[in-house]
A and B are shown apart, each in its own frame.
Chain A
Amino acid sequence: DAGVIQSPRHEVTEMGQEVTLRCKPISGHDYLFWYRQTMMRGLELLIYFNNNVPIDDSGMPEDRFSAKMPNASFSTLKIQPSEPRDSAVYFCASSFSQRYNSPLHFGNGTRLTVT
């Protein structure tokens, strides 16, 4: 299995622009998570899906952030408009059920820089 695939690996954009991050989870996994990692705050959960349905988006910073999962093999995280404080590494992760013994499998992240 290729693992969780994220694109792009790096994104540099100007403040005010729209940014779309993409994720392909591991085939067969029914949970998908979006995390954001910064030095100050570590890994923070933004939103997660179960069977393509958003379950909890309370970690989404504000209305500028939105996420979709149109099918079991694809998810997007969109920021519109982007701001410099959104600069971080964004990780997508998937797992097979949320049983206590089910670890998350992470992609290699998208490093976002907003100037």
Chain B
Amino acid sequence: EDQVTQSPEALRLQEGESSSLNCSYTVSGLRGLFWYRQDPGKGPEFLFTLYSAGEEKEKERLKATLTKKESFLHITAPKPEDSATYLCAVRNSGNTPLVFGKGTRLSVIA
């Protein structure tokens, strides 16, 4: 059974304090690892897809990386508007629907 574990559950940062969120996964043949951002009262919003170990994707202050067992979402010099829950999800080689982790709640304090 595919599993996704995210850590930490919650993270509080000062504005400008860089950090990383972790997504560990167990999947039968990874076809894609997805990162989403979710704001309160909203649905998850797609950020990145990573396909193979060593791949990196960037968007503004966010950079996602992928290894064979985990993915990291690096946040460089975060701002209060980066506060949200970040969700990680995987799709396996059978092309079944995405399996999500429980997310990391990020709070960035000015």
Interface residue ranges, A against B (CB under 8 Å) = 4, 33, 35, 41-43, 45, 48, 56, 91, 93, 98-101, 103-109
Contacts and interface: CB of A to CB of B under 8 A. Distances in A.
B54 interface: no
A42 B3 CA distance: 12
B43 A106 contact: yes
Contacts of B102: 41-42
Given A42-B102, A42-B103, A98 B43 contact: no
Identify which of A4, A45, A56 gathers the most chain B CB atoms within 10 Å of its CB. A45
Interface of B: 31-32, 34, 41-46, 49, 51, 87, 89, 91, 95-103
Contacts of B99: 45
Contacts, number: 51
Identify which of A41, A42, A56, A108 gathers the most chain B CB atoms within 10 Å of its CB. A42
Contact of A106 (B41, B45, B95): B45
A33 B45 CA distance: 15
Contact of B95 (A35, A93, A100, A109): A100
Contacts of A107: 43
A104 B46 contact: yes
Contacts of B49: 101, 103
B32 A101 contact: yes
A108 to B, nearest CB: 5
B51 A4 contact: no
B31 to A, nearest CB: 4
A100 B91 contact: yes
